[in-house]
Amino acid sequence: MKHLAGLLSLGIALAPSMLRAQDAWPARPITFVVPYGAGGYTDLVARVTVRYVEKALGKPVIVDNRAGAGGIVGTQLVANAAGDGYTFCVCSIGAISIAPFDPNQKVGYDPLRDLAPVGLVSSIAQVVIVKKDLPVKTLAEFVSYAKANPGKLNYGSSGAGGLTHYSVELFQARTGIKVVHIPFKSGAPSTAAVVAGEVDFAFANMTEGLPQVQAGSVRGLAVTSLERSPYLPDLPTVGEAVLPGFVVETWNGIMAPSKTPEPIIRKLSEILLKMADDPEVKEIMRRAGADTVKTTPEQYRAQIDQEIAQWKPFIQEIAEKK
């Protein structure tokens, strides 16, 4: 009983100091881990977010690029980090809602048990791009060409486990084509490889693919959104062209280690909600082919739950066809 009383008194003594520590957050620099290399869509989103959060908090925020395994390496780092409010992940759909349920991926975290959603920041579609000398001009022609040359075409992605990987795997499973995966550390070098003719095609995030299509460095065939993109209105959707109902869009959002104090989660969430309406941020995202997004932590969690329910059977379908 004395032991219990001692623990209770200790808890009462600690509570005010813990509250004061949370109220004083941040007292030192914060790190935003980017699970991809510099120069890609997630890196761009991270740097825009960091600049805004720094200004709002009045404390330095550091970008730490930890590329590897399609975002799994950097996400794992944050899942394992102390929940003290000084480490966050600029996460994306692949490493959160898809890869943890792929039997071919080594993932050591549970996305909703080991990480706490803070808020979505942006969403973006993909554009199907091919190297200029590939003898196809439409997505239907591409599918026919790939079927006539099984295993001879290759594609680049931001890494095994990322959405630019899984979107092609799903497309492959649905169309019956056979192509070879060439993973990169982020979307930028993957797109650059298509431009250079080193890989045949990619389902590139709009951030990387849009400027290259507009410049004529690659040929755009389709977009993966439900409706045509206002950034590339002449391109059909994949659903229009060959696969009705095929929709793939990615997002970036901020997540924290699961034991991060709720007041810190709320404070950062409020900043992200305001950022989504900032004219400068919206314009930067627009130029990158993306849109800002506003969600509470609860709405973000609900979206992840929905995506897991949607992607889990697709992943099983892909695995069974391999």
118-141 pLDDT tens trace: 999 999 999 999 999 999 999 999
Per residue in 249-271, pLDDT (tens digit) is 989 999 999 999 999 999 999 99
* Residue 68 tokens, joined: 């590897």
Average pLDDT over residues 41-49: 94
* pLDDT of 23: 66
Residue 176 pLDDT greater than 70, yes or no: yes
Residue 210 pLDDT greater than 70, yes or no: yes
Arithmetic mean of pLDDT over the chain: 91
* Residue 246 tokens, joined: 């095929």
Share of the chain above pLDDT 70, in %: 92
Residue 198 pLDDT greater than 50, yes or no: yes
DSSP letter, residue 99? G
* pLDDT of 162: 84
Per residue in 97-122, pLDDT (tens digit) is 999 998 888 999 999 999 999 999 99
Same domain, 256 and 220: no
pLDDT band at residue 6, thresholds of 50, 70 and 90? Answer: very low
* pLDDT of 321: 66
* pLDDT of 13: 46
Same domain, 76 and 166: no
CA atoms within 13 A on the CB side of 220: 26
CA-to-CA distance for 72 and 109, rounded, in angstroms?
9
Longest dimension (CA), the chain: 81
Residue 4 pLDDT greater than 70, yes or no: no
* Residue 221 tokens, joined: 């065939």
Question: Domain with 187 in it: what CATH number?
Answer: 3.40.190.10
Same domain, 129 and 236: yes
Of 198, 218, 241, which marks where a domain is finished?
A: 241
Residue 150 lies in a domain: yes
CA distances from 173 to 75, 179, 204, 246 (A): 27, 10, 18, 12
Residue 17 pLDDT greater than 60, yes or no: no
Residue 200 lies in a domain: yes
pLDDT band at residue 322, thresholds of 50, 70 and 90? Answer: low
Of 241, 276, 309, which marks where a domain is finished?
A: 241
Residue 8 lies in a domain: no
CA-to-CA distance for 234 and 212, rounded, in angstroms?
15
DSSP letter, residue 14? H
Same domain, 134 and 225: yes
Packing angle between helix 297-321 and helix 262-275, nearest 10 degrees?
90
Residue 3 pLDDT greater than 70, yes or no: no
- Please tell me the total count of domains within the chain: 2
Residue 15 pLDDT greater than 80, yes or no: no
Per residue in 67-99, pLDDT (tens digit) is 988 899 999 999 999 999 999 999 999 999 999
Residue 12 pLDDT greater than 70, yes or no: no
* pLDDT of 245: 86
Say what the pTM is: 0.79
Range of the domain at 51: 28-123+251-321
Average pLDDT over residues 265-288: 96
Of 186, 210, 241, which marks where a domain is finished?
A: 241
Q: Pairing relation of β-strands 61-65 and 30-34? A: parallel
CA-to-CA distance for 139 and 203, rounded, in angstroms?
12
CA-to-CA distance for 187 and 8, rounded, in angstroms?
52
Length of the chain in terms of residues written? 322
Residue 134 neighbours by CB distance under 10 Å = 19
Share of the chain above pLDDT 90, in %: 74
Average pLDDT over residues 274-290: 94
Same domain, 217 and 199: yes
Q: Which residue type, as a one-letter code, is found at position 132?
A: K
Question: Domain with 92 in it: what CATH number?
Answer: 3.40.190.150
Per residue in 148-169, pLDDT (tens digit) is 999 999 999 988 888 899 999 9
- Rg over alpha carbons for the chain, rounded to the nearest Å, is 21
**Angle CA 290–295–297, to nearest 5:** 130
